[in-house]
Amino acid sequence: MGKSSLAPGFRFKPTDVELVQYYLKRKLLGKRLSFKVIAEVDIYKYDPWDLPDKSCWDCGDLKWYFFCPREKKYRSGNRIQRATEGGYWKTTGKDRSVLYSGAIVGWIKTLIFHTGRAPSGDRTNWVMHEYRLEDQGLADRGVPLDSYVLCMIFQKEGLGPRIGAQYGAPFKEEDWSDDEVEITSEAVQVAITPEPDLGLPCNYVSPTATNAHSVGDIGVGPSGSGIYDILPPFARFPSRFPVITLYWRCLLLLLVMI
């Protein structure tokens, strides 16, 4: 599977709520994702050290995300098949709930990979967080919530992050409920406009101004020259006075500040 590399400085660091309420929920509903950042892989067909090559993105964070179809060990039971060719994933601790607006919207199961065969396998530092969706409304509509889980795979070194640590702005599901339009890299542009600086020469025109004008052009609106934006209201001249140039504006500004 071909990998896509994120630009330097960009990271894929979703919160637990975002993983459950956006990514996993849309997968279960068959909705398209704006960005293909999570690959669909049956992770139990591979040992964990082979999984990084199956991921969609190479972001350098040493965490890999996958949509995994759930396969029961026995058709008549509820036990999940978690054995691989070289070992097995063993549950550790209790499942943790994912809360959104005060309600439980998902669960996180933590598993540790052991080499060999159960129950005498050797513990490794490979860890999995398995996310599953909790949504009674969708279940009542016949949506099979157990058809997929979302898995985050990583190697634990040292103390690691605190359990439940979350970063970033709070997730709001309504902001993403209708985002069916695929966003391309060309459509994502970041414009950085410097703050007005009185130390700049009077003939300075910001290269990032949305309406670029020459030094002598007075037909400048509020989004034109950076100098215009810091003039007091009474010092802003309309475009019907073409004889007043940016030079005179700067001079007038200095007089006002004295």
Residue 80's φ and ψ, nearest 5 degrees, are: -95, 140
pLDDT at 96 over 50: yes
Q: What is the SS3 string spanning 111-169?
A: EEEEECCCCCCEEEEEEEEEEEECCHHHHHCCCCCCCEEEEEEEECCCCCCCCCCCCCC
Per-residue confidence (pLDDT) for residue 181, from 0 to 100 = 37
pLDDT at 65 over 50: yes
* Average pLDDT of the chain, as a whole number: 72
| DSSP codes joined into one string, the chain | ---EEPPTT------HHHIIIIIIHHHHHTPPPSS--SEE--GGGS-GGGSGGG-SEE-SSSEEEEEEE--BSSTTS--B--B-SSEEEEE-S--EEEEETTEEEEEEEEEEEEESSTTSPEEEEEEEEEEEE--HHHHHTT--TTSEEEEEEEE--TT-SPTT---SSPP-GGGGTT--SPPPGGG------PPP-TTS-TT---TT-SS---TT-----TTS-HHHHHS-GGGPPPTT-TT--HHHHHHHHHHHH-
Per-residue confidence (pLDDT) for residue 157, from 0 to 100 = 74
Tell me what the mean pLDDT of segment 61-80 comes to. 75
User: Long-range contact list for 106-111, CB < 8 A, 24+ apart?
Assistant: 106/16, 106/17, 106/19, 106/20, 106/21, 106/24, 106/131, 106/132, 106/133, 106/134, 107/131, 107/132, 107/134, 108/16, 111/82
Per-residue confidence (pLDDT) for residue 216, from 0 to 100 = 38
Measured in whole angstroms, the distance separating CA 107 from the mean position of its chain's CA atoms is 20
Residue 248's φ and ψ, nearest 5 degrees, are: -70, -30
pLDDT at 121 over 50: yes
Per-residue confidence (pLDDT) for residue 81, from 0 to 100 = 78
Tell me what the mean pLDDT of segment 68-81 comes to. 69
| Stretch among 73-82, 189-198, 200-209 having the lowest mean pLDDT | 189-198
Residue 111's φ and ψ, nearest 5 degrees, are: -130, 150
pLDDT band at 193 (very low <50, low <70, confident <90, very high): very low
Q: Which CATH superfamily is domain 4-178 in?
A: NAC domain (2.170.150.80)
My answer on whether omega of the bond before 119 falls inside 30° of 0, hence cis, is: yes
Reference 127, options 85, 160, 78; nearest CA is: 160
Per-residue confidence (pLDDT) for residue 102, from 0 to 100 = 94
pLDDT at 227 over 50: no
**pLDDT tens sequence across 151-190:** 999 998 754 444 444 434 455 566 555 554 343 333 233 2
**pLDDT tens sequence across 4-51:** 556 677 778 899 999 999 999 999 999 988 778 899 999 999 999 999
Domain boundaries for CATH 2.170.150.80 within the chain: 4-178
d(CA 195, CA 153): 42
pLDDT at 238 over 70: no
Q: 247 or 167: which carries more pLDDT confidence?
A: 247
Per-residue confidence (pLDDT) for residue 174, from 0 to 100 = 60
Per-residue confidence (pLDDT) for residue 256, from 0 to 100 = 59
The residues near 162 (Cβ < 8 Å, ≥ 6 apart) are: none
